[in-house]
Amino acid sequence: MSENTNNTTPSTTTTTVDTNSSSSSSSRRRRKQQPSAHHSPQTPQPWSEQAPQAPQTPQTFLDIPTSTTTTTPSSPQQQQGSYVSSPSSSVVSSPSSSSLRTNSLFEEQHIDIPKLCERLVQNDPLLTTVDLSGQILSVNDVALLLDALLKNHFVQTLDLTQCGINDQSASFIGDFIGMNHQSIRNIYLDGNPFCDDGVNSLLDGLEQNVYITDMTVNENVIAQEFIDEMEKYLERNAQE
């Protein structure tokens, strides 16, 4: 996989957590379904026990086999990577259409998640967007990715559109959001099969987060009341 870059360094934002939203979250929690057995709210990093460290020899955990087709980049831009771009800054919107996915190697192959995680841990300042849209990710893939993102300080946008994110994966993402990672500003989860249990986990994380200003869950089976609460948290963060 080859890589493309923009020289964008995320600005540091000092914000204050709004603690006056407890009444809304308490009301929602009374409606919240019984958490599934795989998710324990008392555990801050539930994926840490499940996710092995990225192996030195890259291997793929994706359900769909990696293509053996290879392409040699013909320009310096192609050599720098295809899943790197500047993030969008809107409050509630669709994923930015400017994400660079023009490299033929990226389009023909599925992303090697362990290899991507290795680069995330290296903290490349030019890697500001991780676009995995359309890549089918297992729960283990999501766990590996989130663990690597916790060690990264430059990625601002995470696009997981149509990645097969289920309720368990969404609960991991919600826990990650609740840790208030300072660099992540935009998360796109459109077209995924998680339902109310998953979105409840996301809302629990957003309630604690003061940095994310853009999150979309379009084309998901989610009640409108949850969408409204999500927009409330995003608007709060955008104003701080």
Q: Specify if 34 maps to a domain.
A: no
The pTM of this model reads: 0.58
In this prediction, residue 221 has a pLDDT band, given cuts at 50, 70 and 90, of confident
Domain with residue 211: its CATH number is 3.80.10.10
187 falls within a domain: yes
What domain range is 191 assigned to?
127-223
What is the structure's pLDDT at 109? Answer: 58
DSSP character string of 154-204: S--EEE-TTS---HHHHHHHHHHHHTT-SS--EEE-TT----HHHHHHHHH
Separation of alpha carbons 133 and 79, rounded Å:
21
Report yes or no on 94 lying in a domain.
Answer: no
CA distance 124 to 110: 21
Confidence at residue 110, expressed as pLDDT on a 0 to 100 scale: 75
pLDDT value of residue 72 = 39
- Residue 218 binned pLDDT confidence (cut-offs 50, 70, 90): very high
Range with the poorest average pLDDT among 2-11, 27-36, 67-76, 97-106: 97-106
Tell me how many domains the chain contains.
1
Residue 162 banded pLDDT, cuts 50, 70, 90: very high
Is 173 within 8 Å of 205 (Cβ atoms)?
A: yes
Is 238 part of a structural domain of the chain?
no
For residue 47, the model assigns a pLDDT of 55
